[in-house]
Amino acid sequence: MLSKSVKKSYSNKPLILVTNDDGISSTGIRSLVESMRELGKVVVVAPDSPRSGMGHAITLDSPLRIELVHLFEDVDSYQCNGTPVDCVKLAVNKILKRKPDLCVSGINHGSNSSINILYSGTMSAAMEASIEGINAIGFSYLNCSFNADLTAPKKYAKRIAKSVLEHGLPPNTLLNVNIPDVHYKQIKGIRVCRQAIAKYEEDYNERLDPRGRKYYWLTGKFINNDPGDDTDEWALKNCFVSVVPVQFDLTAHHAISSINSFWK
């Protein structure tokens, strides 16, 4: 599975796994590959089509396929019919000869700040890499268009990835990076922050199909009632790049004693 060019250069440069959830043909992943090749040896393993909103889904009931494709100059790239998390698992277990030094996911077309992290395939792919003990970062740009100018997210992706390669991340921790939709020069800097406690107010668009049967499309409005100036939402609104350190221990440690009292 591993091509000669990958094998050859494994020893002397950082090995960087690139993935995403918008699919291997998106402009976001292309920009991320361009940024990362300036930092190390890049291998791409990404979904063969868009897989937005897949969260941490894995494929249990159908066969997974990997195809070597030739989408990026001098970069080995593979497309997979699975979810973003499947891509990371397959990359680590079947494609790469050694554990990568870094896994980057994105650049997502649209925000993954606040509660969006739970639904995001981009962030779940990064989280899966972190579970595997790999330094991992998810990058998202607050502009959903495939034709957006990706100058700012590219530059910040490179800068932040470089820092992580230099310093490493604390154990069981990954980064959720969001870049505001403003010109590069308007960005005020990087802000390390917490996830805003916000949510969607859903609305389902109700329609009738040509056979008269009802169906629904999910729509919704993002509502942030978290007033903190230490949140990712605050940072983005104020033209900072938001960096949230993220963990996959979901225990609400502070709640253990009060819940213990239920059965005492």
- Phi, psi (degrees; rounded to nearest 5) at 78: -130, 135
- For residues 226 and 199, what is the distance between their CA atoms, to the nearest angstrom? 10
Tokens describing residue 216: 């629904």
Taking CB under 8 A as the binding criterion, the range among 8-16, 33-41, 141-149, 252-260 that sits at the site for its own copies is 252-260
Task: Measure the CA–CA gap between 172 and 135, rounded to whole angstroms.
Answer: 9
Question: Of 7, 8, 65, 99, which lies in the binding site for its own copies, with binding defined by CB under 8 A?
Answer: 65
Stretch 68-97 residues interacting with its own copies (CB under 8 A) = 83, 85-86, 89-90, 92-94
Least separation in angstroms between CB 73 and its own copies: 26
Could you say whether residue 109 binds its own copies (CB under 8 A)? no
Residue 114 and residue 57: Cα distance in Å, rounded? 19
76-80 and 66-69 strand pairing: antiparallel
- Cα–Cα distance measured from residue 199 to residue 167, given in angstroms and rounded to the nearest whole number: 33
Answer whether 129's CB lies under 8 Å from 140's CB. Answer: no
Residue 223 touching its own copies (CB under 8 A): no
Residues 141-160 that bind its own copies (CB under 8 A): none
Site residues for its own copies, window 159-198 (CB under 8 A)? 163-164, 167, 169-170, 172-173, 175-176, 189-190, 192-195, 197
Binding of residue 203 to its own copies (CB under 8 A): yes
CB closer to its own copies, 80 vs 142: 80
Judged by CB under 8 A, the stretch of 60-68, 71-79, 140-148, 178-186 that binds its own copies is 60-68
Using the minimum distance from each CB to its own copies, give the nearer residue, 147 or 258. Answer: 258
Residue 169 phi, psi dihedral angles, 5° rounding: -115, 155
The yes or no reply on residue 259 touching its own copies (CB under 8 A) is yes
Cβ(34)–Cβ(107) under 8 Å? no
- Tell whether residue 260 is a contact of its own copies (CB under 8 A): yes
